[in-house]
Amino acid sequence: MDAADTGMGDDAPRRTTRRLAADAAGIAAAADLLAAGGTVAFPTETVYGLGADATNAGAVAAIYAAKGRPGFNPLIAHVPDIDAALRYGVFDAAALRLARRFWPGPLTLVVPRAPGSGVCDLATAGLDSLGLRVPDHSVARALLAAAGRPVAAPSANRSGRVSPTEAAHVLGDLDGRIDAVVDGGATPVGVESTIVACLGGQPALLRPGGVPREAIEAELGGPLATAMQDAPDAPLAPGMLASHYAPRAGVRLDATSVAPDEAVLLFGSFRPGGMTGQPQLNLSESGSVVEAAANLFGMLRRLDGAGTASIAVAPIPTTGLGEAIVDRLRRAAAPR
């Protein structure tokens, strides 16, 4: 066990992690585990989530223990459809509009908690607001419908590590620490949901993600306020700590030249100076930010596995999904 493993999450009791197929039997078994207070990783269209019954504080505590996640970080409650979401949150006109346009899909809406929602305080880290999301993934929606309760689910990685886009990534971080993983193959979007707070007043972007800011602003007919958090002491989206998405290697952005001992993450046809035989992967040969988002976390993991001290990243455009990609890379690059 290395230092990273001993430093966090030692309070997760060891258990056998079941591998469940994404078929009717696997989904029924996963729903039973959730109802019994278990922790189950499952695919969404963005990344794999580590789910537990959001109304059961003991079950939610098991998520924090498995991830080694700081206890002040609120979790997103996942539900199968808008009707379910309306039971747990209070939606103003802007929130309703965004829900109708983008759900199911990679958008999380932070809204006031509905009175008597039943979502436990541990899941929201004591906030009066609640993050709600209807994922656009057949396995996730079947599981949420079968579970019949809101499912709190952060990304299914150890805290501070890269989000998982395959069941194998989940097991690499959490095997023996969670009750099951439903294997639904690779997740199509690859970066997490966009988070928008609708708490009265102008809706605010808390985290760029799978729905581009431009699409949300077009639907709202006006700009989003920006409330993205870089300061750890600013509480609005406490998950947005500066060095949240961290591979073991250092990450260097906007690299126009690379050193012989670096691994290289490319985008499009641009080639930095100094390229020789370094370990290298291309997020999208054709220069598509959509393809790049889907490849981002998997490629970061593979280059991290090459064992170099630094990963140099070629320039990436910041339009559309590029905003979320560059945001994640900036966090991976932050000093820690």
Kindly list the residues in this chain that would bind ligand TXA in the complex (CB under 6 A): 44, 46-47, 49, 73-76, 106, 108, 110, 124, 127, 129-131, 133, 153-155, 192-193, 195, 206-207, 236-240
List the structure tokens of 246: 């961290």
Beta bridge partners of 182: 20
The one of ligand TXA, Mg ion, none whose footprint includes residue 38, by CB under 5 to 8 A per kind, is: none
Q: With CB cut-offs between 5 and 8 Å by kind, which of ligand TXA, Mg ion, none does residue 278 bind? A: none
Nearer to Mg ion, 27 or 158 (CB): 158
The candidate with the shortest Cα–Cα distance to 78, out of 156, 168, 165, is 156
| Residue (51 or 268) nearer to ligand TXA, CB | 51
Cis peptide before 104 (omega within 30 of 0): yes
**Which residue's CB is nearer to ligand TXA, number 227 or number 249?**
227
Q: Please identify, using beta-carbon distances, which residue of 206 and 289 lies nearer to ligand TXA.
A: 206
- Minimum distance of ligand TXA from residue 263's CB (angstroms): 25
Compute the Cα dihedral for 4, 9, 15, 16 and give only its sign.
negative
CB of 256 to Mg ion, least distance (A): 30
**Please, how many CA atoms are within 13 Å of residue 129, restricted to the half-sphere of its CB?**
20
Name the residue with the smallest CB distance to ligand TXA.
239
Q: Which of the choices ligand TXA, Mg ion, none does residue 228 contact, using the CB cut-off of 5 to 8 A by kind?
A: none
Q: Nearer to ligand TXA by C-beta: 240 or 246?
A: 240
And the tokens for 206?
């808390």
Minimum CB–partner distance for residue 139 and ligand TXA (Å) = 12
Strands (E), 79-122: 107-112
Contacts of 191 (CB under 8 A, 6+ apart): 46, 47, 106, 163, 209, 210, 293, 296, 297, 321, 324, 325, 328
Task: Decide: 169 and 40 in contact? Cβ < 8 Å.
Answer: no
For residue 90, the minimal CB distance to ligand TXA (Å) is 13
E-strand ranges in 129-174 read 129-133, 151-152
Q: 280 with 236: CB under 8 angstroms?
A: no
Question: What residues form DSSP beta bridges with 49?
Answer: 42, 155
- Residues 10, 15, 16, 20: what is their CA dihedral angle, to the nearest 10 degrees? -90
Q: Which does 240 bind (CB under 5 to 8 A by kind): ligand TXA, Mg ion, none?
A: ligand TXA
**Nearest distance, CB of residue 89 and ligand TXA, angstroms:** 10
Residue closer to ligand TXA (CB basis): 17 or 124 = 124
3-state class (DSSP) for residue 328: helix
Burial class of residue 54 (count of CB atoms within 10 Å of its CB; 0-12, 13-18, 19+): buried
For ligand TXA, the closer of residues 46 and 284 by Cβ is: 46
Which partner in ligand TXA, Mg ion, none is near 236 (CB below 5 to 8 A by kind)?
Answer: ligand TXA
Task: Provide the token pair at 251.
Answer: 């990450």
Closer to ligand TXA by Cβ: residue 46 or 56:
46
- Minimum CB separation from ligand TXA for residue 136, in Å? 11
Q: Which does 35 bind (CB under 5 to 8 A by kind): ligand TXA, Mg ion, none?
A: none
Binding site for Mg ion (CB under 5 A): 155
Rounded to a whole number of angstroms, the minimum distance from the CB of residue 236 to ligand TXA is 6
Paired strand residues for 251? 311
Q: How far is the CB of 285 from ligand TXA (least distance, A)?
A: 26
CB 183 within 8 A of CB 20: yes
